[in-house]
Amino acid sequence: MLKRSLAIITILIIGYWLAQSLAGVPFGEDKMLVGQYYLDHVKDQTGAVNAVTAIVVNYRGFDTLGEVTVLFIASTGVGALLWRKRKKRTAKTEGSVVLTTGSELLFPFVVLFGSYIFIHGHLTPGGGFPGGATIATAFLLLYMAFVSYEIPHKAFEKTEGLAGMGYVLVGLTGLAIGGYFLFDWIWQTWQWGTGNIGRLFSGGFIPIIYTLIGIKVGTELSGIIDNMLKEEVRE
Amino acid sequence: MNALAALGEILVFIGTFFYFLSALGLIRMPDVYNRMQTSTKSATLGSLGVMIGVGIWALGEDFGSVAWLTKTIVISVFLLLTNPISAHTLIRAAYKSGIPLWEGSVMDKYREHIEAKAKEAETVGAPESETPEEGGEE
């Protein structure tokens, strides 16, 4: 009781303090400095209509590379923590026919939609991370619906590594062509897709990188799901 | 405002009405199964009404185009397919984890079915693939 009330009082004090500091910040006013630059130049500098993905991949691509690395480390960490020689699914009960049939039917559509999200990252909201998470959801669906489903490990792990390498390779190509890491060579040097901004084949290297990120995130999260669902079996 | 927009507005209104009924069912119904029954059914119908209504509504407006209706139809087909499956799974899980029926219920055929199956397995004896359990070897 004392502990709880102390915690509540502390949190209230912290909340009041935060609210005090936020009270001085003007909301709803035009305070953009860098943001205005992004909004003004995003189309002719990156070819993307979606300013968010343009910033995330193009202007500040380094952060995205870091995020991908964080995810990779998380996946590797889960794999290392839960590593055992023999692991098996230990689902107790069979799913009902409605569930298994439904997930079997839905699986390709969910994967299709996930691919749609990451391919159209430069045009619509979304991008590599939501698309990859959607694809991982499709695999989670299969994991949940079937007693003994397992992703093809060899292919998945290789794809994950290759996709991550592909991202770095695109960045290094930019270094070779344009002079700095993650330079958008497809847009800046080749001028490819300048004629059709707002259509699918535009946006410089954003769709390429987002496809790679989507594949990587999808396989990675599926791997984490797989690791967490399996349990040790005794001989 | 033209006829299409008016039709869309009516559909959205019907949809929200069913949403309201679904929320009301959640409060009013006595047990999990009845609550699921009322909420999922009317929420699915309500969502269909709202989404198709928005699509048709957008057709009638100046800014609207067919893109809205296409998207909403895709979403509603998806919802129409997934919502009943999730409701089915939830109810089944609820039953399997032993949540009781409402005390006013008269029949529980599923329980009878499960018990009959268990009895059958007992009388036949020696269930298939009875490997001896190896435990306590630590």
Chain segment A125-149, per-residue pLDDT in tens: 888 899 999 999 999 999 888 888 8
**pLDDT, averaged across chain A:** 85
Do A129 and A210 touch, CB atoms closer than 8 A?
A: no
**Which residue in chain A is spatially nearest to B82 when comparing CA positions?**
A102
Tell me if A106 and B134 make a contact (CB, 8 A cut-off): no
Do A111 and A197 touch, CB atoms closer than 8 A?
A: no
A179 sits in the region (left: phi over 0; alpha: psi -120 to 50; else beta) called: left
Give which of B74, B88, B89 to mutate to test A binding, by max A Cβ within 10 Å: B89
Q: At what angle do helices A153-178 and A206-229 cross, to 10 degrees?
A: 150
B92 contact residues in A (CB cutoff 8 A):
96, 99
Output the six-digit token pair for A67: 């995020």
Q: Is the predicted pLDDT of residue A35 greater than 60, yes or no?
A: yes
Tell me if A95 and B89 make a contact (CB, 8 A cut-off): yes
Q: Tens digit of pLDDT for each residue in A204-220?
A: 788 888 999 999 999 99
Location of structure tokens 């009638």: B60
HSE of B2, CA atoms in CB hemisphere, 13 A: 8
Location of structure tokens 């059958």: B120
Tell me if A98 and B89 make a contact (CB, 8 A cut-off): yes
**Which residue in chain B is spatially nearest to A106 when comparing CA positions?**
B82
Percent share of chain B, pLDDT over 70: 87
Cα gap B97→B85, rounded to integer Å: 18
What stretch of H or E contains B120? helix B109-124
Q: Is the predicted pLDDT of residue B131 greater than 60, yes or no?
A: no
B114 sits in the region (left: phi over 0; alpha: psi -120 to 50; else beta) called: alpha
Listed by number, the residues of chain A in 83-102 with a beta carbon closer than 8 Å to a beta carbon of chain B are 93, 95-96, 98-99, 102
Q: Is A234 on the interface with B (CB under 8 A)?
A: yes
Tell me if A109 and B78 make a contact (CB, 8 A cut-off): yes
Sign of CA dihedral A216, A218, A219, A225: positive
Residue B125 has a pLDDT of 58
Cα gap A59→A40, rounded to integer Å: 13
Alpha helix positions (H), B29-102:
32-60, 66-96
A202: three-class secondary structure by DSSP: coil
Tell me the domain boundaries of chain A.
35-232
B86-96 burial code (b ≥16 CB/10 A, e <16): ebbbebbeebe
What's the whole-model pTM score?
Answer: 0.82
Q: Per DSSP, what are the bridge partners of residue A89? A: A230
A98 contact residues in B (CB cutoff 8 A):
85, 88-89
Q: Tens digit of pLDDT for each residue in A150-193?
A: 888 888 888 988 998 998 888 888 888 876 777 776 777 777 77
- Non-local (6+) Cβ contacts of A217 within 8 A are A68, A71, A128, A129, A131, A132, A133, A135, A136
Listed by number, the residues of chain A in 108-127 with a beta carbon closer than 8 Å to a beta carbon of chain B are 109
Mean pLDDT, residues B126-133: 44
Distance from CA of B89 to the nearest CA of A (A): 7
B78 contact residues in A (CB cutoff 8 A):
109
Residue type, A41: H
Output the six-digit token pair for A183: 């330079």
Q: Tens digit of pLDDT for each residue in B97-106?
A: 888 888 877 8
Tell me if A105 and B82 make a contact (CB, 8 A cut-off): no
Output the six-digit token pair for A8: 């509540």
Q: How many CB atoms lie within 10 A of CB B16?
A: 14
Residue in B88, B134, B137 nearest the CB of A98: B88
- Burial (CB < 10 A; 0-12, 13-18, 19+), residue B32, is middle
Cα gap A169→A159, rounded to integer Å: 15
ipTM above 0.90, yes or no: no
Quickly state the pLDDT bin for A114 (edges 50, 70, 90): very high
Mean pLDDT, residues A113-126: 90
Tell me if B88 and A99 make a contact (CB, 8 A cut-off): yes
Residue in B85, B96, B137 nearest the CB of A102: B85
